[in-house]
Each structure stands twice: as C-alpha cells, then as structure tokens.
Chain A
Amino acid sequence: MRFRRFFHREDKDRDLAAEIQSHLAHEVDVNLAHGLSDPDARRQARLKFGNPLAVRERVWSYRSLPLAETIWRDLCYAWRSLCKAPGFTIVAVLVIALGIGVNTAVFSVVNTVLLQPLPYPDPQSLMRLVLFTPQRTLDGASVPEFNLWRQQTAVLLEVAGYDVGGAGMNLAGGDYPLQVQAVHVTHDYFTLFGAPVIAGRTFTAEEDRPHGGNVVVLSYSLWKQRFGGDFNIVGRTIRLDSTPYLVVGITGDSFITGNPVDLWIPYQFDLNTHDMAHYFGVAARLQPGITIEQANAQLKLASDQFRREMPNAIGRQNYYGVVPLKDWMIGDTRTPLLVLLGAVGLVLLIACANAANLLLARASGRKREFATRVALGAGRWQLLAESLLLSVSGGLLGLFLGYASVRLLLTVNVGGLPRLGEDGSAVALDMRVLLFTLSASVLTGILFGLAPAVTASRANLLASLNDSGSRTGTGFRGANFRSILVVTEIALALVLVIGSTLLIRTYIKLQAVDPGFDTHNTLTMAMSISGSRFQTSAPVAQIIRQGTERIRSIPGVAEAAAGNGLPLQGAFGMPFDIVGRPKGNAPFSGGAQYYSVSSSYFDALKIPLLRGRMFTDRDDASAFGVVIINEAMAKQYWPQGDPLRDRLQKAPGAGPPFAEPPRQIVGIVGNTRDGGLNRDPFPTMYIPLAQMPDGETALNSRVAPLWWIVRTKSGQHTPVTQVTSALREATGGLPVAHIRSMDEINHLVISRQRFNMLLMTVFGASGLLLAAVGIYGLMAFSVEQRTQELGIRMALGAQASELRNMILGQGMVLIGFGLVIGIGAAFWLTRFLASFLFGVEIRDPLAFVLMPLLLSAVAVAATWIPAVRATSVDPMTALRFE
C-alpha cells in the first residue's frame, strides 16, 4: 500500500539515519584501505555522500502531503496564536458572528419563501389559472370558467377548484359546536396536490356532482383533536351545520396546505350554470411536455371562444392564462425579501471590513514574528489561516444566533409572508441554509484575511527584523489600506441607516393614517352561517336583530352590528349602473366593492355620515331598496352631480340570483382604507342586509362568515364571554371564532411594513455599531502606535489640545470621505426601497441630513476617546515607550 508511507515517519527517519551512518562507515573503511589518514578518510566519505540531512529531508517530504501538512500546521499555529489573544479573538468572532448571523436569518426566510419547491409532487408543473387584464392579473374563478379550463385537456390535467374555507362550518359534538375551517374542493384537488390518505379515500367524481351526497374528508389535526385519532370515524357521519356528513377519509399529517384546513367538502358544481360569480380559485398541472407559453397560447384561444359564448363575461383585452403556482403564492414578497438580503449583505461587508481592520492592526504588531517565521522557512499565508479559523468559528456562532433570532422574530411577526407556516414553523436549517452559511463564512474569511495576509507577507524581511521594536511601525503599508476600510464601513453604515430611517418614517406615517373609523374599543368575531338555515335573507336578518338586541343589553356595550365583511379586510367587488346615465361602449357604469350590513353598522364602527341619512331598522325587505355609498365613490362617479338624486342598478345582467330593482342612494359616508392604509380608498357601496336578494345571501353565506362588531364603552373591560354566550342564545347555539379587536386587525394590516421596518432597523443599528467599533479600533490603534511621536511633539512644546485636534482632524477626514460616499450610494440605492415607502420621498431630506449627522456624531465620539487618551500621556513615558 502506497499510503503506508505517510505513517511511522519518525521510525523510518531514524532507520534511514542509521543506514546513512552505515554507508559512511563502509566508505571510510574503503578510504582507509586506500591508505588515507583517519580524518581524511572521514572527510572524503562525507564529501562523496553529500548532505545526509538533505537526503533525510527528501525522503521525509516524499513521505508527506506537503500542502495538507502546511495547512494543518498553519491552522494549529493559528489556533495557538488566537488563544494567546483572547480579547482580539472574541471581538473578531463576535463581529463575524453578527455579520453571518443576520445573513443566515434572512437567507433562511428567503430559502423557505422563495427557494424551496412546493411540498407537492412535480411542483414545477403546478399552475394557477388566472385572467390577464391590461391592468393586473386576477385569480378568481367562476363555475363556467372552471368548466372551460377543465376542457383544455391538450395543455392541462387535474384542473381543481378550491376556496380558502373563509365561511367556516359549525361542527356539532362536545359542549358547544366548533367552528371549523371547511374548504370546498373539486375532486381532482387531492390528486393534483398528491394528498396522502391514511384512512379511507378522497372524493370520487360521482360525489363531486350535484346531489352527490354529503361527504367529508378530515384533516389529520382535526381527526386527532376532535376525534381522538379514532380510525373508526371513517364510514360514520358527523354533523356539520346541523346536516349529517359521511366521513370518507382522513389525510396524512404530511399534507401541507397554504392556510390551515380542518376538513374538505366536495364543491358539487352544476357545470351548466351561467353564474359568473367569482368565489374560488383554480389550480392545474401542465400536461407533460407542455410549456407555460404553449398553455397560455391555448388558453388565449379558449378565451376568444368563451367571449363568443358568454358576451360581457370578460373584457376584449382580457384573456386567460397560467402562472406557476409557486410564483402566485410568493406574490409581491420577492422584492422586499431580496432588498432585505441586500441589506444584510451590506452588514456582512461592514463586518468583513471590521475584521480585516482588526486583523491588520494585530498583524502590524506582529511584523517581527512574521519576519522571523518567514526567514526560518515558514509560509506566508499564516494570516489567512487565522482569518479562516476566525470566520468559520464566527460563522458557526452566527448560524445558531441567526437561526435562534429568526425563530424569535417570526414568533412575534411573520410579516404577512407566505409559506412560513404557523409562527414561521416552516423555516428550518436545511442543507441549502447550511451551505449558504458555510460558503459565506469561508468567503468572508478569505475576503477579510487576504488583504492583511498579502500586506504582511510583502513587508521587507530585513527591515522588519532590524526594527527596534514591534510598535513604532507607522510606516507600515497597512495604514492606508485600513483608512480605506474605515471609509468603506462608514459609507455602508450610512446607506443602511438611511434605508432604515425611510422605513421607520413610513411606518410612523402609516400609523398616523386615519383608517376612516374608530378602531379602539371594538371587538369583532366571525360566525359561520353556511348551513341550509341561512340560504335566504330573512333568517339572517332575524338572527342579527336578536343578537344585536341581546348584546346591547350587556353592561359596558355601547353598540353592536353585523355585516358580511369588516373594514380593512376588503370586500367583494360588484359592477353597477347609474340609472339613466349613458354608458357609451362600456358594459357597466362602474364597479365598486360592497358590504351588506345591519342598520347599526356605521354607528358601531363610528364611520361618519357626510350627507343624507344612515340606514334604519325600517329599511327592510318590505321597504324601497336603498344604498349608501362612500366618499370615494361619490367623488369618482359624481364629480359634479349629486349622487343623492340618483338610483343604482347593482350587478346588472348578472343572472337571477342577483336580480333586483334599482336602489335609491340615500347617504354618503366617510372612506375606510380597505385596500391597506397605504392605498387610496376604494369606491364602496353599503346595502342593508335585510334587503339582499336571497340568492346573493345564499352565496355570501357559502363563501364568507357573518362578522359581528361590538363597540364597548371606553375604559370598560371587554365582555367577551357575555357576548359569545349572548350570541349563542340568540342564534340557537351558533359558535363564533376569530375573536379580535379592530386594533389587532389594524395592526395586522401594517404587519409587513412593521416587519420590514424592524429588520432594517436591526440591520441599520448593527451597521452603525460595527462602524463605530471599526473607527474606534483604527484611531485607538494609530494613536497607540504614535505614542512615541506624540511624546516627542509634546516634549518639543506642542499643546495637548493641538495634538488632540490633530488626531480628531485625521479622524474627521476619514469620516467626511465615508459620509460623502455613503450619501452618494444611498442616493442611488434608495430607489429599490421606493415601493415600500409611504408618505416619504426616497430622497427624504430628514433621512439624508439627520442620519449623516448622527453617524458623524457616533464616529467623532469613537475618535474622541483615543484622541483624549493620547494627549493625557506623560511625555517622558511616551518617549521611553518602546
């Protein structure tokens, strides 16, 4: 075995030495036999043999792996040398751990949201069906559209419709019914997403037809929690909304859905319907070998055909198509995440510069050591070994810090990011994160170790050895380079703090936005009314009347109301005609979102009335149809005229379920910011719930819960239990869920901005801290190195204040350079933040003036301490300073 030569090298070397001795002895014998004198014989033998040590070295190096050995030796030496300077080592490792930590944290989120494939079979071929319009991409689907897409078998297979279970269902059993997330799906859903089934089966095609029977598939978590993990539940019936449903199967624990799901129910579409209401989404799989472009081309042809069959269904410039399901789920979170990744990259660069600076400072104090070692034949890459050791240890620490902090952060706030699971539970340290952190660490080590290593190894050996000591080397090459590093750090830190200031200002502005109603002292809750009892408007109006009365009688309650939606969360859209106004070529006068609400809705939310009147209890099914619009709608559609004189035809030509006579506009109320606080208010219609057409109520009950709003008197304890039991009594036992205050909802609406702001603030603060440490380190070191020079200056009569100002001035030059470069870079880079900002310019004067001032204050403070220390030294001590 040839590898054997790498072992027992000491033994073999001793053996060789003995062999050489033997050889020389033989040669001496020969020489003596030739008549040479004893010393001569020995001399000749040695001459003829050559250098025994060189021979031994050659054999030794043949028995070694020179590169690996050198690296190992360098690492061992690096370890010993780092152990001897614990202060330096700890600071350097912490700096790198901070840099790597924030990067690991952000990358683990990026990895989960953007990089990981969907947890379904063949995820690349999963597509979401959409309607492309010139303005935007719409993802809702109606039954006729679903039927059209289902027929495109040339390009699509396993076309499945599903909703998000917003309406909920009431599951009987236990003390009270339980409101569950019931998702409606078509039968291909389970095949499409490869749902594992641990018991029973999923729906058959027959069960997904109209009158296919009441069947249900349970999720693993509901099965465990509500049914104690009993397999015998399959084949039995459970009561949902007071109707018996046959349990046909249970899905496995590993089935991950976008939103939590308790159970699935077949949609049972009537595919011949002309109902164009959009209330679900559709996903499908591309046929093998079909590209997205091919699918889109085919769907565009299908759109033209659909437009001929169903006039007015889609606009002339609109057409159907597909987008990858993953892209659809990621939505608009890609850019913010990449910007955050860029920001942590800056933090890492600052950390690198800092570590390089530390290493250089240390290296210049070790010139003689290096020179001695190089003179004795050591390699010149010692410093690189040290920096790699530092960066990998820092990276390891950073990995744990980053992972721990990302878990903590996501527990507080998932920032409206998709795919993260509950409290970010989907974020895990997988191979990709580990590889990322490892390569970031190694690259960091090379980046901050290369320059010091090159500089140190270039140093003139002889000059270094002859140097009087280790501390006088102001002429050391590193000095200029280190100044550049500090300038870079200041510039990068400035970019970060300006970015975080812009986001903090955005957040403050957003919080100051008036949502259009009073969010305080308001409790909201959802009641599922999807059962057969609530397929018409009258019983819904009745439970609202009874519930409202009971809640009002609870002490501490000021007002109660109900509606099919809450402000800030958004509502369904609906076209309308203004009676008597010419439409031109357009199919409708316009479109607006609508809420169906109880009469006290505006009082409960304190939405102000601007003109006309509010609803009263007399606006019921028997009265003349009325509608209230918001200010935005009045401004958009009646720029001059008076809306109170006009009548509205809601959903013209939308089919029998929506058919109703025109409504009189009776009032104008203030805007609520339903599309988010950073967007202009949408045109909105409010319709008395008691006046809704039955078909529309039935649809609403199927797709959304009834929302209750309870306003309490200020300072009062919120009577949650009394309210829920009052509602149970008033409605014959219906439970409520999603109990939240309006303040909480308001909080959630701006959670993404808060997430961005929080992270950027942390990064900005890290950058600032690192830059301060960096400039302090440089100035302190340069002062220390110049102690002797300063002593001479003082001995020659320089005043302490002059010296201090001199050192401060040198620091200020660096700071000034850094700030100028930083402002320039920020000027260019803030454009990438433009889409996150609200109420703040990307060149916000406050950020661009205040932050440089703040940074220079920090930097001056970091320079001041060494400057003062330098001048407080006794000149005699300074002169004798080695």
Chain B
Amino acid sequence: MAKNRPPDAGDILQGTLDLLILRTLILGPAHGHTIAHSIERTSENALEVEQGSLYPALHRLEDRGLVSSEWGVSDNNRRAKFYRLTAKGRKELEAATNRWRRMTRAIGLILGESNI
C-alpha cells in the first residue's frame, strides 16, 4: 500500500546525503551524531536537514555494504553506534565524487560559469 507522505529533504537530496556521509566517514569511524554535526559544519549549514533523516540513509548504506557499524563508547562516555567506511564504500565514494563533479561542471557550463 503506497503511503502518500510529502517529499522531505532526505528524498530530494538522497544521493547528495549519501555522498556527504561517505565523505565524512573517510576521515575515520564516527557515530550518527558526529556525522550529523560534521555535515552541518562542512556544508556551512547549506544542506541542513532534520538530523533524524540521517539514519534511514545510514542504514541503506550499511545494507549496500558501503559502511559497516558496531557499538562502541563515544568521547562523552556514552554508548554509540560507530560507522566505518568499507573498501566498497571507498570505491563508491570515488565514483560518486566523479559523478558529482561531472554533473556540477555540466550545470556550471550551462549556467555560463566557465571558471569551474
């Protein structure tokens, strides 16, 4: 049965969010909260989303084998689930980054920003 929800940020920026998560994890394992803040900081809040929508994306990435996870203890001495980039995830990040660059370049050309 199709559930008719209004499209949210996660749906629109699906591919982008995946890319950002992978990009964040290349620096080392991190738990959800860290990833969320890291994305907020590095994207200068331009891509701010509800933090909750991070989790469906994380789980999808895990199912695709791009990240792996295990429970650990955070800097705050709290239990947290840590995500780690897999080899497959690394390759995917590379490919996705290239795709992204090609696309933004194409868009840039169309918009006349030839300096990109």
Query: What is the interface of chain A, defined by CB distance below 8 A to chain B?
Result: 2, 4-5, 12, 15-16, 18-20, 22-23, 25-27, 29-30, 48-52, 54-55, 58-59, 61-62, 66-67, 70, 379
Whole-angstrom distance between the Cβ of A60 and the nearest chain B Cβ: 10
A-B residue pairs in contact (CB < 8 Å), sample of 25: A4-B63, A16-B55, A18-B81, A20-B52, A22-B31, A22-B33, A22-B74, A23-B51, A23-B55, A26-B31, A26-B33, A26-B76, A29-B76, A29-B78, A48-B51, A49-B50, A49-B51, A51-B52, A54-B52, A59-B56, A62-B56, A62-B59, A66-B1, A67-B1, A379-B1
**Contacts known (A22-B31, A26-B76); A62 close to B60, Cβ less than 8 A:** yes
A-facing mask of B65-89, CB < 8 A → 1, else 0? 0000000001010111100000000
* Interface pair A16/B59, CB less than 8 Å apart: yes
**Contacts known (A19-B55, A50-B50, A59-B59); A66 close to B78, Cβ less than 8 A:** no
Nearest neighbor of B80 in chain A, beta-carbon distance? A22
* Interface pair A19/B51, CB less than 8 Å apart: no
Let me know if B101 is at the binding interface, CB within 8 A: no
Q: Which of A26, A59, A379 has the most CB of B within 10 A?
A: A26
**Distance of A270 Cα from B71 Cα, bound (Å):** 99
Contacts of A70 in B (CB 8 A): 1
Query: What is the interface of chain B, defined by CB distance below 8 A to chain A?
Result: 1-3, 31-33, 36-37, 50-53, 55-56, 59-60, 63-64, 74, 76, 78-81
Contacts of A16 in B (CB 8 A): 55, 59
Contacts of A50 in B (CB 8 A): 50-53
* Interface pair B33/A59, CB less than 8 Å apart: no
Whole-angstrom distance between the Cβ of A660 and the nearest chain B Cβ: 90
Q: Which of A22, A27, A54, A62 has the most CB of B within 10 A?
A: A22
Contacts of A61 in B (CB 8 A): 3
**Distance of A96 Cα from B10 Cα, bound (Å):** 50
* Interface pair A48/B55, CB less than 8 Å apart: no
Contacts of A29 in B (CB 8 A): 76, 78
Selected contact of B56 from candidates A4, A15, A55, CB within 8 Å? A55
* Interface pair A23/B33, CB less than 8 Å apart: yes
**Distance of A186 Cα from B81 Cα, bound (Å):** 88
Whole-angstrom distance between the Cβ of B47 and the nearest chain A Cβ: 15
The secondary-structure label for the interface of chain A is helix
**Distance of A2 Cα from B60 Cα, bound (Å):** 10
* Interface pair B59/A23, CB less than 8 Å apart: no
**Distance of A761 Cα from B80 Cα, bound (Å):** 78
Contacts of A23 in B (CB 8 A): 31-33, 36, 51, 55, 80
Selected contact of A22 from candidates B50, B53, B79, CB within 8 Å? B79
Contacts of B1 in A (CB 8 A): 66-67, 70, 379
Known pairs A26-B78, A50-B51, A52-B52; list 5 more (Cβ under 8 Å). Answer: A19-B55, A50-B50, A50-B52, A62-B56, A66-B1
**Distance of A70 Cα from B55 Cα, bound (Å):** 25
**Distance of A418 Cα from B59 Cα, bound (Å):** 66
**Distance of A70 Cα from B1 Cα, bound (Å):** 6
* Interface pair B81/A58, CB less than 8 Å apart: no
Q: Which of B33, B52, B74 has the most CB of A within 10 A?
A: B52
Nearest neighbor of B64 in chain A, beta-carbon distance? A2
**Distance of A16 Cα from B1 Cα, bound (Å):** 24
**Distance of A25 Cα from B78 Cα, bound (Å):** 8
Contacts of B53 in A (CB 8 A): 50, 55
Whole-angstrom distance between the Cβ of A34 and the nearest chain B Cβ: 13
Contacts of B79 in A (CB 8 A): 18, 22
Contacts of A54 in B (CB 8 A): 52
**Contacts known (A5-B63, A59-B59); A22 close to B52, Cβ less than 8 A:** no
**Distance of A29 Cα from B74 Cα, bound (Å):** 12
**Distance of A16 Cα from B57 Cα, bound (Å):** 12
Contacts of B32 in A (CB 8 A): 19, 22-23
**Contacts known (A19-B81, A22-B80, A23-B32); A2 close to B52, Cβ less than 8 A:** no
* Interface pair B80/A26, CB less than 8 Å apart: yes
* Interface pair A26/B74, CB less than 8 Å apart: yes
**Distance of A52 Cα from B52 Cα, bound (Å):** 7
Contacts of B33 in A (CB 8 A): 22-23, 26-27
**Distance of A17 Cα from B81 Cα, bound (Å):** 11
Nearest neighbor of A58 in chain B, beta-carbon distance? B56
In the A-B complex, the 3 residue pairs with the smallest Cβ-Cβ separation, listed nearest first, are A50-B50, A50-B52, A26-B33
Contacts of B74 in A (CB 8 A): 22, 26
Whole-angstrom distance between the Cβ of A821 and the nearest chain B Cβ: 40
Whole-angstrom distance between the Cβ of B115 and the nearest chain A Cβ: 37
Q: Which of B2, B32, B55, B80 has the most CB of A within 10 A?
A: B55
Whole-angstrom distance between the Cβ of A76 and the nearest chain B Cβ: 15
Whole-angstrom distance between the Cβ of B41 and the nearest chain A Cβ: 12
Contacts of B52 in A (CB 8 A): 20, 49-52, 54-55
Nearest neighbor of B11 in chain A, beta-carbon distance? A58
**Distance of A712 Cα from B2 Cα, bound (Å):** 83
Selected contact of A66 from candidates B2, B59, B76, CB within 8 Å? B2
Q: Which of A12, A19, A59, A67 has the most CB of B within 10 A?
A: A19
**Distance of A18 Cα from B37 Cα, bound (Å):** 19
**Distance of A163 Cα from B47 Cα, bound (Å):** 91
* Interface pair B55/A55, CB less than 8 Å apart: yes
Whole-angstrom distance between the Cβ of B58 and the nearest chain A Cβ: 9
**Distance of A874 Cα from B79 Cα, bound (Å):** 72
**Distance of A49 Cα from B76 Cα, bound (Å):** 19
Contacts of B59 in A (CB 8 A): 12, 16, 59, 62
Whole-angstrom distance between the Cβ of A595 and the nearest chain B Cβ: 78
* Interface pair B76/A59, CB less than 8 Å apart: no
**Distance of A59 Cα from B58 Cα, bound (Å):** 10
Nearest neighbor of B81 in chain A, beta-carbon distance? A19
**Distance of A441 Cα from B52 Cα, bound (Å):** 47
Nearest neighbor of A74 in chain B, beta-carbon distance? B1
Contacts of B36 in A (CB 8 A): 23
Whole-angstrom distance between the Cβ of A546 and the nearest chain B Cβ: 90
**Distance of A70 Cα from B3 Cα, bound (Å):** 12
**Distance of A61 Cα from B60 Cα, bound (Å):** 12
**Distance of A12 Cα from B56 Cα, bound (Å):** 12
Contacts of A5 in B (CB 8 A): 63
**Distance of A61 Cα from B80 Cα, bound (Å):** 24
**Distance of A67 Cα from B3 Cα, bound (Å):** 11
Nearest neighbor of B3 in chain A, beta-carbon distance? A61
Whole-angstrom distance between the Cβ of B99 and the nearest chain A Cβ: 21
**Distance of A30 Cα from B60 Cα, bound (Å):** 27
**Distance of A22 Cα from B30 Cα, bound (Å):** 13
**Distance of A586 Cα from B52 Cα, bound (Å):** 102
**Contacts known (A59-B56, A61-B3, A66-B1); A27 close to B51, Cβ less than 8 A:** yes
Contacts of A58 in B (CB 8 A): 56
Q: Which of A2, A54, A66 has the most CB of B within 10 A?
A: A54
Whole-angstrom distance between the Cβ of A52 and the nearest chain B Cβ: 6
* Interface pair A22/B3, CB less than 8 Å apart: no
Contacts of B3 in A (CB 8 A): 61, 66
Whole-angstrom distance between the Cβ of A552 and the nearest chain B Cβ: 88
**Distance of A49 Cα from B37 Cα, bound (Å):** 12
**Distance of A298 Cα from B3 Cα, bound (Å):** 69
Whole-angstrom distance between the Cβ of B18 and the nearest chain A Cβ: 14
Contacts of A20 in B (CB 8 A): 52, 55
Whole-angstrom distance between the Cβ of B100 and the nearest chain A Cβ: 24
**Distance of A1 Cα from B78 Cα, bound (Å):** 31
Q: Which of A15, A59, A70 has the most CB of B within 10 A?
A: A59
Contacts of A52 in B (CB 8 A): 52
**Distance of A48 Cα from B50 Cα, bound (Å):** 6
**Distance of A566 Cα from B20 Cα, bound (Å):** 98
Selected contact of B55 from candidates A26, A27, A59, A67, CB within 8 Å? A59
**Distance of A731 Cα from B59 Cα, bound (Å):** 98
Contacts of A55 in B (CB 8 A): 52-53, 55-56
* Interface pair A22/B78, CB less than 8 Å apart: yes
Contacts of B50 in A (CB 8 A): 48-50
Contacts of B2 in A (CB 8 A): 66
Nearest neighbor of B63 in chain A, beta-carbon distance? A5
Whole-angstrom distance between the Cβ of A453 and the nearest chain B Cβ: 14
**Distance of A154 Cα from B114 Cα, bound (Å):** 79
